[in-house]
Amino acid sequence: MGRLDNKVAIITGGASGIGERMVDLFSQEGAIVIAADINEAAFEHVSQKENVYGMKLNVALDEDWEVLAKEVSDRFGKIDILVNNAGISSEKPYQDIDLDDWQKMLSINGYGPFAGIKYVAPYMAAQKEGSIINISSYTAQIGQGFNHYSASKGAVRALSKAAATTFGRQGVRVNTLFPGIIETPMTQSLSTSKELLGSLIQATPLQRLGKPEDIANAALFLASDESSYITGSELVIDGGFSAQ
């Protein structure tokens, strides 16, 4: 028996990195998984997997969310799980960030999860059950020079609490994960500098960087009925980096 048998899950950014690992794990655990991503070429390979359906989604667009939520509900009869995982990052220096940079970052990383909840939570509320998992970042909790990226992830943190209280009485749970540095295409540039990589590992109490499965395993718990009394919670997964 799988831990997500008979559940229908939407995972945004499901074509790469952390999202792709969640897609694999959730489908192995018995869920029907919709890997929703802006990168159609990338999600085609994800769609080859059993019980996985790739769908086009730009998380920053209301119309995309409206169509996706209706299509998933019509086709599979319900929506049990939403993981707001899609995101972009930037290491642009503070002084170089302008309003366009800010708006792009906040519209994908901030409005994306907001819109996901806005369009999907009503389907969950109608069935009186649902689990939403938002992917923030350890940079929402400590200063690390990521500037507008950190601000966007801080928005996700606050939004999760607001949504947990807004939808809790309708049976919808909302929880947040705070990954540290995880080895994915997003952090590929780190591996080009052995020195930087070494210093980051050195600075981490558990003495390694994170892997996509470290985040996927926690998301699996929050998606499953094992966490049925948990909402509005925050889980940091960073090898102890931000505990220092």
Summarize as ranges the residues that interact with ligand NAD (CB under 6 A). Answer: 12-13, 15-19, 37-39, 42, 57-60, 85-89, 108, 135, 137, 179, 181-182, 184-187
What's the rounded Cα separation, in Å, for the pair 64 and 229? 31
In the set 53, 111, 119, 149, the catalytic residue is 149
- The residue (of 19 and 130) whose beta carbon lies closer to ligand NAD is 19
Minimum CB distance to ligand NAD, residue 136 (Å): 7
Phi-psi region of 53 (alpha: psi -120 to 50; beta: other; left: phi over 0): beta
- The residue (of 87 and 239) whose beta carbon lies closer to ligand NAD is 87
Minimum CB distance to ligand NAD, residue 170 (Å): 26
- The residue (of 13 and 130) whose beta carbon lies closer to ligand NAD is 13
- The residue (of 161 and 211) whose beta carbon lies closer to ligand NAD is 211
Minimum CB distance to ligand NAD, residue 241 (Å): 11
138 as an active site residue: the answer is no
Minimum CB distance to ligand NAD, residue 107 (Å): 8
Residue 239: phi and psi, rounded to 5, are 65, 15
Residues marked as catalytic: 149
